[in-house]
Structure 1
Amino acid sequence: HACSMTEGKYSFSAIIDSGCTEHLTNNKQFLTNFRRLTTPRIFKCANGSETADLTVNYCGDLKFYNNGTCSTLTDVLYSPSLSTNLFSVRKVTQSGINVTFSKNYVNFVQASTGNIIKTGYFRDNLWWIDLPLAPQGLEGCTTPRLKRLKLGPCLLDDPYKQPCQHDSFGRHFERVSSSRIPDLTKLRGRCVEGSSLYHDIPVNIELSEKHDPTNLDSKIAQFDKDNLESKFQTLESDILWHLRLNHASKPYLQAAKKFIPELKYITLTDNIQNCEDCHQANVTRKSHTQVRHRAEKPLAVLHSDLMGTISPTNFRTGDSYIVIFVCDYSRYTFAYTLKNKKQVHTAFERCLKEIESITLEQKNVFKLRSDRGLEFQTSEMKQLLSDRSITCEYSQPHVPQQNGCAERMNQEIKHKIRVNLLAAKMPFSFWGHALNYVIFVYNRMPHSSNMFTSPYQMVKQRPPTLKFLKRFGCLVHYHDVNSKTKFAPNGKRGYLLECTDTGLIVFSEQHENLVNSCDVKCIESIVYGDKIKDYPLPLSDSLDISDTTCDLNSDSETSAVAFKNIELIEPVSYKEAINSPEKDLWMEAIKSELTALVDMNTWDLVPKSELEPRTKIIKSRWVHKRKLEPDGKFRFKSRLVIKGFADTNNYLVSEIYAPVARLGDVRMFLSVVNKLELFLYQLDVTTAFLHGELEKPIFMYVPEGLEEMMELPVRSLDNYICSLKKSLYGLKVSPNLWYKKFSKVLLELGFEMYPFQTCIFKRQQDQKFIILLIYVDDCLLASNNDDLALQYIDKIKNKINIKNLGSPRKFLGLEIVRDLPNKTIFIHQKTAILKLLNKYLSPDDQISKNSNVSNYMFTQYSRT
């Protein structure tokens, strides 16, 4: 075949022949500079038969496009008896081009640069090459006679890729007829196959003054006249002026005819309105005013949509998404929180079960409408829809208006959740419970689309009751069914999170869990945020040694200042503590500390008479601190500290030095936890230094308060001293002894110490592992297996008195916020900074009261 169509353009297809000495073609129409050879050439064929010899009398040049440029194959021989075009490998290699063959392709490589300039292909057991043809005589090629010719996109490459420039639109193209030679100076036209008027570029051929029309045969033979006749047609005058005048519309052209002479005799047709370029450039989104017919029975048609990702995650459950199902008939709404999008089908299954319990019918939902989110097109969701014979209607992509019912409900939910959390001053992590509260109230409120009848009444055919409805987040005292003694308080404090038809769901302040109760007393004038808004900031982050707590709630500015003054005058001695207004609280904290010391067998009481003369006896003192917990409670803590500076024993550096993890190690540890998505726990050792066993004898005076704790007569222990067996806070060797004790326990449990970091331990068990970081008595434990982590926490508990604090919220003064869905860990020190501001700024600045300022400061900081 002489030529073929490749990608909508004419191309020269030829067999790549390594035995052929010249390029050969059987079609002279695609050759320029067509000429007769001075001496005919005879080509022998491979079979040796003289009857197969080819006699060649003509040759020419073949112009083609390669990578946007016009190239030429010179001296291409023409033989009409040739069955197929031949492309000579020898001819190409002589021009400095290397040819490489592979399994399916042949590459032509420029020898000087190594660049691949053309690629052929393997087909029908032969190697082929296609060369896109260039119309002869075009500007950009070497022929000077014909210039500025641009045919439609059906013949040439994209016009923007060519070096030639286009003329402006002019007169109509006069069709080429086989019976006469066209006037090339007036050639105009457009390609009707191209759908865009913009790409229908007119033809303009100008002849040089010395051109001989009698020799046009060799120039216009390149055009297939029949093809040209069928491909081109005239431009109507109204279309032409439409194009000239910035694609003006018909009404504007009609108005322009009144004062523009050139348009006076132009007939304007409706074809102007069919300009595809105008439609493509000016298409806009349509308004969706069509109203769908409402369902005729409750819960037969549901609208659904997913909202998320939501940060922070929901309290305790860690959910990050909300999926809703809205009844088309009544607007009754079901809402569920999800950990990920894959749980949409489980939420829909829960919704169907709830509907069955309401309607007492197995088959009720017939249709589900949603957007095209992939969560609604999973195999599990499709199987559930198929099993229940439910039809799912999807809206068009990027057209939320078609799912407007669910989209508007999402906006309503977001607004109501936000306003309830702000009004109650509750953490945003309670948004899941606020969602349930909002849906409960929404279903029982009048709806405008229901003629102001509530969705609840339209579905259940009875008016709703709001017997248990109370303000979200308000203070609640609920009945304690687990009261152990007759005279213990019957009620406990909590805060309302959800309402049901039978009672309330309350967040217990003491146990930090959820309680279902109908025996409640609500104080709706006090909400969750009121209990902590005026509390002073803690002065220190002391260790946890007591569970003694006291709630100090205040709504007045006067009492807030009083609390601040109390904090500034914390007792510095035992006598001040027992004589302070909080005497009972401090005494309980002191008793708790002494009980722990006695239980740990920290000392032996021995008579002074048994001591050797001049034995050094060291005094001790009480350190009292008041700590504000994250839940808003004050914890009174007392610590017995020995005056270790009076210890006269000589110690080596190795006996008093105890390694601790660096802050950089802590950050690296948290980074690894976040990267590997490990389970993370915080451990706290109760009275850690009491676990260390002393190697040298140390004697201490009997601490104040021990007689009262042991219920002994006053001054009955004046003749006794404490012979210490365990280390105490304040001793020089206490940190070192504790580290040795803890590391020994870990090594016995199979942990290994990192060689260059003695405060990080690791235990490997098959593919499971545990990493433990210690900083004195504060520890972080991470593992890729939750069961393994809890198992080894219990093993450590059997040897050392530790507490599992769960996911860390505060470690070494760093406040840790972990966002599992987004795989981020955020570390900040907001409390410490606010404490300094509260301590050093004047009272007029009122930094501690202005929560908006502090929240803004740290919100901006968290984004950097």
Structure 2
Amino acid sequence: MPKGVATLFHPDNPRLESGDVFFPMQTLGVDATTGKRIYSIKVESADLWHRRMGHINGKNLDVLRKEQVNGVDYTGDVKYCSVCPLGKSAQQPHPKQATYGVLRPFQHDTLGPFAPTALGGSKYATKFVDQQTKWAEIVLMKDETCSVDSLALFNKGTVVPTGERIHCLRGDQGTEFTSAEFRQYCQDIGIKLEFASPNIPQQIGANERAGRTILNVVRCLLADSTLPNFLWGELIQTAVYLSNRVPHAALQNGTPYKALYGKDAYLGHLRVIGSRAFVHEETHTRKLEHRAWEGRLVGYSMDSKSYRIYNSETRRVRVSRNVVFIETPPVAPALDEFGFDDREFTYDTHDDMVRDVRNYTFNHSIDSLPPDHDVGDIPVIELLEQIHETTNRDLGVSSAGTPPTDDAPRTSGETIRELRRISYAFTAKGEFPDVAHRDGSFGFTEHAYAMGASQPDVPRTIEEARAMPDGEQWNAAAEREIASLKERQVYKLVPRTAVPPGRKRIKSKWVFKRKAGGSFKGRLVAQGWNQVPGLDCGNTYAPVCRFQSIRMLACIAVQFNLELDQMDVSTAFLYADILENVFVEQPPGFEVKDKDGGDLVMQLQKSLYGLAQSPSNWFHTIDPFLVEIGFVPLKSDTCVYLYDHDDVQVYLTLYVDDLLLAGNNSRAISMIKKKLTQRFKMTDMGEVKLVLGMEIKRDRNQGTLTISQEAYSKSILERFGMSECKPTSTPGYGSELSNKQPEDTLLSEEETRRYQGIVGCLIYIAQVLRYDIMYATGQLTRPMAKPSKIHMVAAKHTLRYVAGTTDFRITYGPFGQIFKIFSPAQRCTFLGVGVLIPKSENTA
């Protein structure tokens, strides 16, 4: 018999009676000697119930086991739990003496703000606790101004149905509770407000400890389940659900549930939060489709006997009672002799990795770097030298390619901490913000200016495309795009009358492109610049990896002889669900009518190119998947990921839909590609050749890697009619140009757009590779709103310098001398042969 299963003999009734407790059993067979049936009873461990109950202490768990009707039964005691110290560490208790008046008081408090934002947009939570029964409730809020709404929801949804009322409400003197609106609401429904003295939280110590207990459980659930942080809203409600069913010392080891309802709560339905959950699919339409989908348990329904299951593919939480669970603890991703196994990746169990993943936030910015940190500081350079000396420990291979020895054991914690330090070198001090926020100083608009060098033989409309000599090819490209949209179920057609009054219908347009290989490509995009925030678009922030990170990865790949491959996600945005109701006009040239001849519009089910929220939706689709398969995002650049396990390290950079993979195990990289291809439609481009306008050439024999932008630089010159210009020897025009110029010298509107296009292209190549024009380009950015003729001359002067240096390149080789160059305007850090981190500063 397997361990934990007892063999029992019993008459025909397959239930073993012991006092008043009945144990369900399973028939195993009939004994050949005695002719009696053999039954088995599975005995669960105390550790399993400890995790099911949100990591409560062993004393309270024993109290629950003594109750005979709640379904809690186990053997043994709770062993040492490594998760509890992470989530429950606190100061030693302070003596408290509680006093109560004649009125039944309720306590309230605001928890937050939390980062990242929870599903649904909440950043805060209001906690209400009945001081008599210790019953707690949580109401999620988008901001602190919703405190009145949260109190009204708690009063009408919880207090009034029990036949009680709130006589007294106690809390701190937060502005959300002392506002005139909050006081007026309490006065209208007859609630007396009581506040603790300013800066004396000890007067409401029980309330503060209740909040701490809830957050302790949330932290434990996050650490134990490895669920993403943005599910804190679900987990905090689950923590309150469990705390209402846990013995409370103030109730003489009774539970708040029993104090409120007069009976013990049944706990037999509880499962470990984060367990793999297989939910029966009620709406399957094909015989060979899966009958269930896999998610993760995040909580329990408050108004039905159902479970709340998170679907990582749709980023939604669904409620269902038809669920099968696998409660095995999370295990580290394993490698077999052929590479990654086919099971779903999970996290390693060591504390540093768990803490690093769980502290990860989607809106991490460079502000978290030390304020005095300098990308060229000596500690960073020294650290890079240390990596060269500790290859065995850090990357699992020696410089000679031999396996690591026992003399230099590598621990995952050391690797993560060193990589965290190394990653500071990835990030300059923010001279150019991430090109991922449309409101940033160098956002999507400027990036489109830089990358969108128009092609003269490419049509702008579907009518123009069909009228061209190769119109059949352009029309076929558009038809392929329409078929792809239908296959992905990106939209559904609805009558125009279904659009709510006052809601704008976003127009759509075609964007055509002739690719380098000569193929024709058409893409349908939405004209999302007139979207209304909060109505048809929500969060628009989507990080991308920094160009410094890509250069650093190239340097690491050369130094440690790593494989460096590239992948591209086909129609990436179409994989992301859209949370808002967005209505878009049908594609020009492909409009259809309903059967009665009425007009139809597209109601989007997935994100579409051109929408403001599409980049954010895509990032929040691929990022959880990368975390699920075992990658850890770095602190300094949240779009650089590391998989580190069993002497295998794989780095991944994410720039919208362009991925770079670098690792010391080719089979591991192949299996990661397989995982990505199973989830998304990917194009495996093999060894990287061209990424984000950077041409990359690698010489394995010489151990070098060269980055250049020759082709892109020439395309810029051709675009602005400067391909035949006379080169200059310096990028700057001379003395600094004043922003204030005579009105009669200002450029026209058309020339202003041309000037902005030139500067946008120069910004891009300066940020990617051409550190030598950083200062000159910075001077050109100052008069962007009102440039004059002298500014245009200066911009063309910089283009002439680019024309004479199109073959500018950076070569990375083995570690040689590491040094820095300083000048009043520029500072550069050199590693090996190539420049690593250029930086320009305005000294004016």
Is the strand fraction higher in 1 or 2? 1
Task: Verify same fold: TM over 0.5.
Answer: no
What's the TM-score once normalised by structure 2's chain length? 0.37
Which structure ranks higher in relative contact order (CA pairs < 8 Å, sequence separation ≥ 6)? 2
